[in-house]
Amino acid sequence: MNIFITLTMLGIYIAGLAYAVYSNPLPEQSFEDFAVGGRSFGWQFITMTIIGTWYPGSLLIGWAQMGYDMGVTSTYLIFYTLGGLYIFFLICSPLWKLGKVYDLKTMGQLFELRYNSRSLRIFVGLVVLLVELPWIITELLASGYAIQAITYEKIPFNLGMTIIAVFFLLYVLFSGMRAVIIADYYQGWMFLIGGMVLFGVAVYHFFGGIGPMLMEVRDIQAELLTVPGPMSGWGGEAPGALFWPSLILMGMFGAYMWPSLFSRIFAAASTKELKESIRITPFVAPIFTLLILLVAIGASARPEFNTGDSAYALVNMISSMGPVAVATISILILAGALSMMDSMISSWSIVFVNDVLTPFFPNMSPKTQTTIARVFTVLVGFAGLMMAMTDLPTIVQLLTRVYQAIVQVFPAVFLGLIWKKGNKLSAWGGTLTGIIIVAYFAFTQPDYVPFLNGMQGGLIALAINFLVYVALAYVGKPENNVDELFIAIKTKDIDLKRLT
């Protein structure tokens, strides 16, 4: 009976998703439609797709583990979600306008346009792709786990991963970014209604309310209600006091530098739609995150659900409520994994075609670009699947360590949009310096730097990156086309047509 309930719910979820995606095909086979959904999406889609893409499947496993083991330290996710949205608000309008006028689809293209450097475009394109690679594997593993849980282990792990990979690859092939945005919109609703109700109900079911839950946590492990720092009870093993704030700052600056989120800005129909999406996201996203993290922290007061690996304590606790809860939490993991993987793989194929291939073959037709993007989608999807089925290759393990490199493109993106003086030299100098420092800390220190009171190495790298960018901006000359670009940035949406 239990498996009948869970499989029926999974069937309804998959059928609804397939119906939403497949009833909206590409209007024409242009690369712009495939890559940025024809720049046609309104605020409702932008809002929900940001929420859908924001949360990975590993939120309910990896971050839940952080809540279980490190308590309120895990709430950095809430603050960086908010901070990231502020950064989004600052960059969305100039970026969208440049995208509209100069047909931008990726971050690499922005670098070539702003800094007149094709090699910088290829370099940035490759860096962001490589840093994102381990995520695809993590999310494939999360989806395999979700399918295994929802079928009560009737479908083995690898088969579950393969089914999910084939499913999302099919819809990405069908209509590229358009399918991804519709699918992520769908997952956004799943998080907001399905997720909020599930976790809200769980708090009352297990603890009788948030207050009693936190009191139980306090009585068992009071330090979980503090962040590591002086006099917080964490002891000498914990990172220093700057760990938590540096996690927030790094997350905030890096949030929209991931190619899968960055390119969403180009999919909007106008700057008005982008800004309108900010009316809702900063309210609902933190509430959802807070609920999950609170229940994960609460799970630490129920050690019977920790069956050897605290990463699964939250899922085990929720699943004990019955088959409907098993299905809902597994589907939420699946929703997070799907929205992350479809976004990443589609943006990978777009960045690869746009920033790595097109510079060498500038006369490639849009139809050929779309075809190559589709072939690349399949190749990356199956390569990720193969990697997820084996022990992670060393290269992936190395890439996992340098995830903070993604934040190092922020100064060149942000300052490039607001300051005319930034030039090719400053963009190369700042970004390379940042990445080298990140790599140094990544291979010599843990995830934080003990002698810097727990600060993440990436944040030091970012500060030096900013300084190098500014210093070199005064050494080199502004780019020739910079005045033209800033005219586009300052022009109202309605007048942009005459610039295209």
Partner 1 sequence: MGGTQIIILIAFILAIVIAVTTSNKIMRQNRDKKN
Q: Which residues of the chain form contacts with partner 1 (CB under 8 A)?
A: 9, 12-13, 16, 19-20, 23-24, 27, 40-42, 44-45, 182, 185-186, 188-190, 192-194, 196-198, 201, 205, 269, 321-325, 327-328, 331
- Nearest approach in angstroms of CB 26 to partner 1 is 12
Phi, psi values for residue 14, rounded to 5°: -65, -40
- Nearest approach in angstroms of CB 48 to partner 1 is 8
Task: Compute CA distances 401 → 136, 385, 405, 441, 446, whole Å.
Answer: 15, 21, 9, 9, 9
- Nearest approach in angstroms of CB 51 to partner 1 is 12
- Nearest approach in angstroms of CB 320 to partner 1 is 11
Query: Cβ closer to partner 1: 1 or 231?
Result: 1
Between CA 473 and CA 436 the distance in angstroms is 20
Between CA 184 and CA 188 the distance in angstroms is 6
Query: Cβ closer to partner 1: 118 or 272?
Result: 272
358 exposure class (CB count in 10 Å sphere: 0-12, 13-18, 19+): buried
Query: Cβ closer to partner 1: 241 or 334?
Result: 334
Phi, psi values for residue 43, rounded to 5°: -60, -30
- Nearest approach in angstroms of CB 61 to partner 1 is 20
Phi, psi values for residue 390, rounded to 5°: -115, 180
Query: Cβ closer to partner 1: 112 or 273?
Result: 273
- Nearest approach in angstroms of CB 348 to partner 1 is 24
Task: Compute CA distances 222 → 69, 211, 218, 313, whole Å.
Answer: 12, 14, 4, 19
- Nearest approach in angstroms of CB 208 to partner 1 is 13
- Nearest approach in angstroms of CB 358 to partner 1 is 27
Query: Cβ closer to partner 1: 42 or 62?
Result: 42
DSSP string, 46-107: HHHHHHHHHS-GGGGTHHHHHHHHHGGGGGHHHHHHHHHHHHHHHHHHHHHHHHHHHT--SH
Within a 10 A sphere around the Cβ of 435, how many other Cβ atoms? Answer: 23
- Nearest approach in angstroms of CB 291 to partner 1 is 13
Query: Cβ closer to partner 1: 16 or 209?
Result: 16
Q: Considering all CA atoms of the chain, what is the largest pairwise distance in Å, rounded to the nearest integer? A: 72
At 260, list the tokens: 């899968």
Query: Cβ closer to partner 1: 137 or 294?
Result: 294
Query: Cβ closer to partner 1: 40 or 368?
Result: 40
Query: Cβ closer to partner 1: 91 or 190?
Result: 190
Residue whose token pair is 């030096």: 464
- Nearest approach in angstroms of CB 147 to partner 1 is 17
Query: Cβ closer to partner 1: 45 or 80?
Result: 45
Task: Compute CA distances 421 → 65, 412, 470, 480, 483, whole Å.
Answer: 45, 11, 8, 11, 10
Between CA 203 and CA 432 the distance in angstroms is 47
Between CA 36 and CA 23 the distance in angstroms is 18
